Structures are given as structure tokens and as C-alpha cells.
């Protein structure tokens, strides 16, 4: 093996740390297969010790699938280059939240899957820091596959065939399900306001609450708190009860991995399984990351007209 694998946290089954990967081996078919299988098995892979540059990040991403452009062109910035998307927080712009009596935070995000508000969810991505804040700025990961295993049997049976309706919403503090207690949006970034003006381009979609990982037959609790509106075909009370029970199991920070970034880290996750979040940074500091997007379609998302009933309820 041309790389070393260890655990991210001793008591967590998901996640892997890869070190000693010779960058020249990224082109080797056997290495590529071993890395791909590790990703499918573990869900999150932290690469440490690779050359800290965009070309390596892109080459590594292509091990796991074809590159994808973000489907929302208006969400990408003008300085987006090819396969790398810039994710900035600077004090002059960017969302700012406050949680309870805590300090103002930039670069904070609630638990979510990327692009769950469209029918074709990308398979994953790799994040790499360009400029890190002096403090804070961890990225949280929770495994929906392990969370499924923690569900009570009666709830597993109840949710087996259900679909959840999603609709884009730029308000990171206004979640219907899984809202962080005490969170208040102090400022919405101007580009999010632009997106909200174009919501008609993003009609509601539905995704199954449970799906089976093709390669392994393992079931995944497939739920993104951010962007979720409710359960298709159910009224508000029934949605609230079921998704409340689901959230109690899924969003359990004892079972989360929080990645504290170091320069040169590249973190890969499986977006069909791993919900992620950002813990935020002091609002006066800066953060700049670059992300690749790995294409794919698990084939289970579709448009949904149920959002109207949920919104009226
Ligand atoms: Fe994300």
C-alpha cells in the first residue's frame, strides 16, 4: 500500500486519515481503487502531507469521480476557476450569526448535504484551506450510515419509504427542522439575497429519507436539516413528530467528527451519506477555502409538488 490509514477519532467508526500518500501514486490504478473503496467505506477522508496546491486537489478529486460545475452558476463567484470553487468569509460581507449570548460568528453553517435542494445531488467534494482564521473554523461531519444504525427499529420501519421535501433557503438561522437553539441571523450576505430573489429557478424536490449504498448494501439515514420542509404526503404534525425523532438520533455531536484545519489539509466527504456543518469563526476574522465538486447522481431525487401543502400548514 502506498499510503497509511488511521482513524480520525479512536471511538468513531466512520472517517479515515490518510498520510504518506506519494502524489505520484495518485495516477496509479490500484491506488485509485484503494482510495475510492476507502471513501465508500469510511465516508470522510482527511489527506495530510500532500503538496498544498490546487492541481493536487483537482487530481485527487478526479480519483473519486468526474468534476462537476456547481449547478447554480449564480452561486459561484466570478473568480471561480475551472474545478475549484472559492468559499470566502470576510468581515465586509458574508453571513453573520449569533448563538445565544455568544460572539458574532462568520463562516457558520448548520448541518446539511450540499445541493440537496436539487434533484441530482453531487457525490462529494474536497475542501482545502487557503487562508485560515487565527481561531475557530472547524468543519463538522456526521455519518448518516452510522446514524441509521442508531435508530430504534420502530422508527426504521416507519421511515423506510418516506420522502423529504427540500427547497433552497439562504437563511442559515431560519431552519424549520434542526434549528440551532438561540441562533439569530445578524446579517445575510448580499449574494444570498440575490439567490433568494431567483428562487423560482429552484423548484422544490424530494429525496428518500432512507437509501441503500449501492456498493455495500448498507442503509443510510438520508436527511439534511437545512433546506428540509417536511415529509411528502404528510401533514405538518406528522412531519414534525417523525423528523423530530430522526433529528434526535442524527444530530448527536458525540457521534460527530469536527475537523480542525491545518494548512495543506484536504478533506474529502461522501455527500450521499455525511451531513456537514461549520462551527464559525470570530466575525472580524477571515477565512478562504477552495472546494472541488465530484459529480454523480444517485438517481433518487425528483421534483415535488408537496411543498405548497407544507407551506400552507
Ligand atoms: Fe456544504
The CA-based diameter of the chain, rounded to the nearest angstrom, is 57
- The vertex-255 CA angle with 252 and 261, nearest 5°, equals 110
User: Does the global pTM surpass 0.85?
Assistant: yes
163 CA to centre of ligand 1 in angstroms: 21
The boundaries of the domain holding residue 160 are: 4-312
291 CA to centre of ligand 1 in angstroms: 10
pLDDT of residue 77: 46
CATH classification at residue 97: 3.60.130.10
Which segments of the chain have a pLDDT < 50?
A: 74-81
1 CA to centre of ligand 1 in angstroms: 31
97 CA to centre of ligand 1 in angstroms: 17
Give the model confidence (pLDDT) of 218-227 as tens digits.
Answer: 999 999 999 9
pLDDT of residue 79: 45
226 CA to centre of ligand 1 in angstroms: 10
- The vertex-77 CA angle with 75 and 80, nearest 5°, equals 120
Least Cα distance to 195 among 71, 72, 69 occurs for 72
Residues near 308 by Cβ (< 8 Å), separated by ≥ 6?
Answer: none
Q: Which residue's C-alpha cell is 477555502?
A: 289
Quick one: which H or E segment has residue 256? strand 256-259
pLDDT of residue 70: 62
- How many domains, the chain? 1
pLDDT of residue 80: 47
309 CA to centre of ligand 1 in angstroms: 28
163-166 sheet: strands from edge to edge: 228-231, 163-166, 205-208, 302-303
pLDDT of residue 238: 97
The set of cell numbers assigned to 210 is: 432512507
112 CA to centre of ligand 1 in angstroms: 6
pLDDT of residue 78: 44
35 CA to centre of ligand 1 in angstroms: 22
211 CA to centre of ligand 1 in angstroms: 20
Give the model confidence (pLDDT) of 261-297 as tens digits.
Answer: 999 999 999 999 999 999 999 999 999 999 999 999 9
Amino acid at each position: 500500500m502506498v499510503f497509511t490509514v488511521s482513524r480520525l477519532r479512536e471511538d468513531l467508526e466512520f472517517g479515515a486519515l490518510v498520510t504518506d500518500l506519494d502524489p505520484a501514486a495518485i495516477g496509479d490504478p490500484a491506488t485509485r481503487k484503494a482510495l475510492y473503496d476507502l471513501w465508500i467505506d469510511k465516508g470522510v477522508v482527511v489527506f495530510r502531507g500532500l503538496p498544498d496546491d490546487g492541481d493536487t486537489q483537482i487530481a485527487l478529486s478526479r480519483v473519486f469521480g468526474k468534476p462537476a460545475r456547481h449547478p447554480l452558476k449564480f452561486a459561484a463567484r466570478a473568480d471561480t476557476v475551472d474545478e475549484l470553487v472559492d468559499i470566502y468569509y470576510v468581515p465586509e460581507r458574508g453571513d453573520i450569526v449569533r448563538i445565544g449570548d455568544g460572539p458574532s460568528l462568520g463562516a457558520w453553517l448548520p448541518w446539511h448535504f450540499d445541493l440537496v435542494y436539487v434533484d441530482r445531488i453531487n457525490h462529494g467534494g474536497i475542501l482545502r484551506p487557503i487562508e485560515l482564521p487565527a481561531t475557530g473554523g472547524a468543519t463538522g461531519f456526521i455519518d448518516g450510515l452510522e446514524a441509521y444504525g442508531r435508530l430504534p427499529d420502530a422508527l426504521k420501519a416507519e421511515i423506510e419509504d418516506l420522502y423529504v421535501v427540500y427547497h433552497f433557503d439562504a437563511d442559515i438561522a431560519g431552519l424549520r427542522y434542526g434549528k440551532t437553539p438561540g441562533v439569530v441571523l445578524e446579517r445575510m450576505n448580499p449574494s444570498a439575497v440575490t439567490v433568494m430573489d431567483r428562487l423560482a429557478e429552484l423548484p422544490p424536490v424530494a429525496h428518500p429519507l432512507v437509501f441503500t449504498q449501492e456498493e455495500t448494501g448498507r442503509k443510510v439515514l438520508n436527511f439534511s436539516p437545512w433546506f428540509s420542509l417536511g415529509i411528502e404526503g404528510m401533514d405538518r404534525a406528522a412531519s414534525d413528530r417523525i423528523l423530530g425523532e430522526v433529528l434526535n438520533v442524527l444530530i448527536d455531536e458525540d457521534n460527530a467528527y469536527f475537523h480542525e484545519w491545518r494548512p495543506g489539509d484536504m478533506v474529502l466527504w461522501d455527500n450521499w451519506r455525511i451531513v456537514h456543518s461549520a462551527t464559525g469563526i470570530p466575525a472580524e476574522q477571515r477565512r478562504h477555502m477552495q472546494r472541488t465538486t465530484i459529480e454523480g447522481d444517485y438517481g433518487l431525487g425528483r421534483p415535488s409538488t408537496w411543498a405548497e401543502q407544507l407551506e400552507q400548514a
